[in-house]
Structure 1
Amino acid sequence: MTMTRTAKPVRQRGFSLVEMMIAVVLGIVVVGGLINLFIANRKGYQLQSGANYLQQNIRVASDRLGWSLRMADFWGGNAYTDININSTATGAITSAGGSCTQAWATSLAPNSTGGGSVFGYSGSTTFPLGAACIGTAANYVKGSDVIVMRYVDTQILSPGPVPAEAATIAANPNQVYLVTAVGGQATLFANSPVPTTPTNSSSIRQYVYPYRVDMYYLRPCSAPAGAACAATDDNGAPLPTLMRQYLRSDGTFVSEAVVDGVEQMKVAYGVSVSGGTSPAPTSYMTASAVTAANAWDRVVSVAVSVVAVSPVRDIAVPHEATYKLSSDCTYKIAAAGTDVSACTNFTPFGDKPWQYTRAVQQFVVQLRNRNEN
């Protein structure tokens, strides 16, 4: 009789409870490390994006302001003293309110009240030209400066012995133009007929340029829900914005946002002893000081200082710094609180200002069209 041996069953073993707990702990450690790495990378990306945002904002602000400043005092080959102001020019403009009137818009003589190719206003508790000029007092960042430039655009409408585009000019009756004879005379006008400049000298080659008025100021919010900035704008964190108010082709003034995130702006004016005959400034002065010295006709360069602020909060470290933008504006950002000196009633951005990154830049623009008048 043959004996059959029964195979001994193989004993199978799984993870023990201890081994499983070790594996779970190791998994948690690895996943936690990955999460921390992801958070760190995301935070680094946000901070870098914030820094790029600041630099981009400063670049846009300097480019736009620089363009207007470089164009200031361009009158198609003439000096402002050669320009006649036709009543049609002032009649075509609608007052924006406050001191932003028709006469102010066409005031070309420096040292007149608010006139000239470049004129500035030092920061104040209220908008220096009257709150109605920008709609309401709530649309002005207190303590920030305001600057106005006047010039004619580079677009030439009608070169030739006699202006040839009367139909285009007639179709825009509220657009203010300058008709000029280079080295002769010029007239600021609106609608047709186009004045002959000089009088009874139609044989002299003439040009017509659109007239421009640019005013830059800071508004406390980027996108107001209504006519005035409010605490609920910009998702409850109103972001200060560089604004440009300009004279539109229909004769009205309109404000547009140039770039948001500009917290403060101060402007200094380089004054030369001999004005247009010497492009080198001997000193830089605030707008109020230039006005007091009756020296707007001797301003040959402009220095603009801006502070850009990121809308993204960074709580990792306090972003403490002191910003001295001019002799009449210094403010300190510190975790212990904000110390503001001279900037009249100015309040930095954010409910906790030290948790936001900032960047400051100053740029100087030479007034290349400044003539000896």
Structure 2
Amino acid sequence: MGVPAMNVPSLERCVRGHSLIELMVAMVLGLMVAGGFVAVFVATSASYRAQTQLALLQESGRYAMARLTSDLRTANAFYCGRAGAVPIVQASGMMGALHDLTTRWGHAPYPSSPAAPYRFPPFLSMRGYDCGRTSCVPAAPPDLPAMGRTAGQRVIGAGMLTLRYLDPDSGWAAGGAAAIAGSVGGAIHHLVIQPAADEPAIAEVYQPGDLLMLADCPLAQIFSANLQGGDTFYPDAPETGRNLAMPRMPPSFNAPRLFDFNRDFRTVTYYLQVVDAGDGVTTGALMRRENGSASEVVRGVERLDLRYGVEDAAGATRYLAAAQVDDRAGGSIACPQLPSDSVDDDYGCLWHAVKSIEVHLLVDGQQVHAASGADATHYAYSIDGDQRPAAPEAATRKLRPAEQGFEPRMLRREFSALVALRSYRPEAALARSPHASIP
């Protein structure tokens, strides 16, 4: 008996591929996803670069302001805070010990070189300079670089300031009456100096020809002397032409101290210099020049503007430009607390009456910032009269970055501070006139 046959249905295998349209749609979707990732990456990178530049800008601005304010607070400072701290100048060549000097004897409107001892004149205390596109008022110190757009030149339109002060950590203790020997008439015959353990050796500081300053609170004197035996200074006689008169014995021995005037009396000048920031871009650097030697403080500073707070005879504080301090705002401000034997129109007398200084810095990010919108490079600088951020090339600006040779497409921010001078003394706002009598 036979087995019936079974009918097994056949399985059809259907092989199908993606159509061209499906492939194109998939590619478009993939590109959109990839583009989204790229856009996020670019935006994140741009944000990171912007934050990095802002961080650098903030750090540079804070450091520049801290360094400036540190020196400004000590401006016009001598050994003691009393009125007697302003020294009597016995040396005939005192100006030769100063640096960055633009107020010399006999150069109008300054008086001729005195023939008798005189108080350290106020026009040597400090001096500011307001600069425009082509020149400065007053004229800049000749030893500084000329203004221009090339690396090494001074930044166009940036202000400058020269200030002076005595380094309080320098000098040698005079050791009291035993170290200062007098002669007939109350003049100093010689000074014997034995440096303490924390004081420098005389040979490490003093150089032949340097002037000395002997100071305590009632009296300070600048004079010429010669060193003998390695530890004894003998004041030069007036007959040598180095002193106008012999230095006097101190009226008291209240911690007298001897200073090398050439080394210990600091002349500090701040200005901006063009430097290469890389990639063909330049920026400004804040420079600090001390006793003729310049060093870079920080980069990224494009503008420096200063206003000087002066207390007039009525006790009111007025903020003036440098030229106004020089000429007493056209003669409208009288020199405060003039001694009876001073000249009423003492040119530059207000520089010793400066009680505070208003500082403005414009700092950039040091790199081109072109990824974000144009408004990212807008900034406000109060000296330009800005009420809100404006474009770098705004017509209202007193000075545009491009005029200074700087790239406009940078982040910029203003830093400002009002600095009080610690040495300011209302009871001695003015040193005596160069020809004043000596008490």
TM-score range, shorter chain: 0.7 to 0.9
CA distance in 2, matches of 1:37, 1:341: 36
* C-alpha distance 350-130 of structure 1, shift in aligned 2 (>3 A): closer
CA distance in 2, matches of 1:58, 1:222: 17
* C-alpha distance 100-292 of structure 1, shift in aligned 2 (>3 A): closer
State the SS of the aligned residue for 2:298.
strand
Identify the match of residue 339 of structure 1 among 395, 405, 416.
Answer: 395
Name the amino acid aligned to 1:325. Answer: I
Instruction: Report the more deviating stretch, 187-196 or 287-296.
Output: 187-196
Name the amino acid aligned to 2:284. Answer: P
Aligned to 1:317: 374
CA distance in 1, matches of 2:286, 2:359: 13
Identical aligned residues as a percent: 23
CA distance in 2, matches of 1:191, 1:19: 100
* C-alpha distance 177-324 of structure 1, shift in aligned 2 (>3 A): farther
Aligned to 2:49: 46
1:182-214, CA deviations, whole angstroms, 9 ceiling, x for partnerless residues? 333243779845578974459653334522111
State the SS of the aligned residue for 1:240.
strand
Contact kept in structure 2, 1:265 and 1:307, CA below 8 Å:
yes
| Larger RCO (CA within 8 A; separation ≥ 6) | 2
Name the amino acid aligned to 1:170. Answer: A
State the SS of the aligned residue for 2:143.
helix
Contact kept in structure 2, 1:309 and 1:349, CA below 8 Å:
no
CA distance in 2, matches of 1:356, 1:304: 22
CA distance in 1, matches of 2:159, 2:402: 11
Q: TM-score, normalised by structure 1?
A: 0.74
Name the amino acid aligned to 1:121. Answer: Y
Aligned to 1:228: none
Offset at 1:243? 1.5
Alignment of 1:263 onto 2:302: yes
The residue correspondences of 1:1-373 to structure 2 (distance < 5 A) are 15-77=18-80, 79=83, 81-84=86-89, 86=91, 99=102, 109-112=120-123, 115-116=124-125, 118-124=126-132, 125-126=134-135, 128-130=138-140, 132-138=142-148, 139-159=153-173, 161=175, 162=179, 163-165=193-195, 168-174=201-207, 178-187=213-222, 192=227, 193-194=232-233, 199-200=248-249, 205-208=255-258, 210-219=264-273, 221-223=274-276, 234-247=278-291, 253-274=292-313, 282-293=317-328, 294=348, 295-315=350-370, 316-318=373-375, 319-320=377-378, 323-325=381-383, 334=391, 337-339=393-395, 347-348=403-404, 350-351=406-407, 353=408, 355-371=409-425, 372=428, 373=431
* Structure of greater Rg: 2
Instruction: Report the more deviating stretch, 173-182 or 133-142.
Output: 173-182
CA distance in 2, matches of 1:64, 1:305: 13
CA distance in 2, matches of 1:28, 1:244: 55
1:13-40, CA deviations, whole angstroms, 9 ceiling, x for partnerless residues? 6655444433332221111111110100
Contact kept in structure 1, 2:87 and 2:120, CA below 8 Å:
no
Aligned to 1:230: none
Instruction: Report the more deviating stretch, 77-86 or 310-319.
Output: 77-86
CA distance in 1, matches of 2:49, 2:106: 48
Offset at 1:245? 1.4
CA distance in 2, matches of 1:283, 1:82: 27
Q: TM-score, normalised by structure 2?
A: 0.64
Quote the RMSD (CA, aligned, Å): 4.3
CA distance in 1, matches of 2:62, 2:401: 27
* C-alpha distance 195-239 of structure 1, shift in aligned 2 (>3 A): farther
Offset at 1:171? 2.4
Which blocks of at least 5 consecutive residues in structure 1 are unaligned?
224-232, 248-252
State the SS of the aligned residue for 1:144.
coil
Q: Kindly tell me the number of residue pairs found equivalent between the two proteins.
A: 342
CA distance in 2, matches of 1:109, 1:360: 36
State the SS of the aligned residue for 1:361.
strand
Offset at 1:70? 0.6
* C-alpha distance 76-17 of structure 1, shift in aligned 2 (>3 A): same
Instruction: Report the more deviating stretch, 237-246 or 166-175.
Output: 166-175
Contact kept in structure 2, 1:123 and 1:344, CA below 8 Å:
no
Which blocks of at least 5 consecutive residues in structure 2 are unaligned?
108-117, 180-192, 236-245, 329-347, 432-439
Offset at 1:262? 1.6
Instruction: Report the more deviating stretch, 137-146 or 124-133.
Output: 124-133
CA distance in 1, matches of 2:92, 2:44: 63
Contact kept in structure 2, 1:266 and 1:306, CA below 8 Å:
yes
* C-alpha distance 120-132 of structure 1, shift in aligned 2 (>3 A): closer
1:31-79, CA deviations, whole angstroms, 9 ceiling, x for partnerless residues? 1111110100111111122222222222122111101111112212155
CA distance in 1, matches of 2:290, 2:79: 20
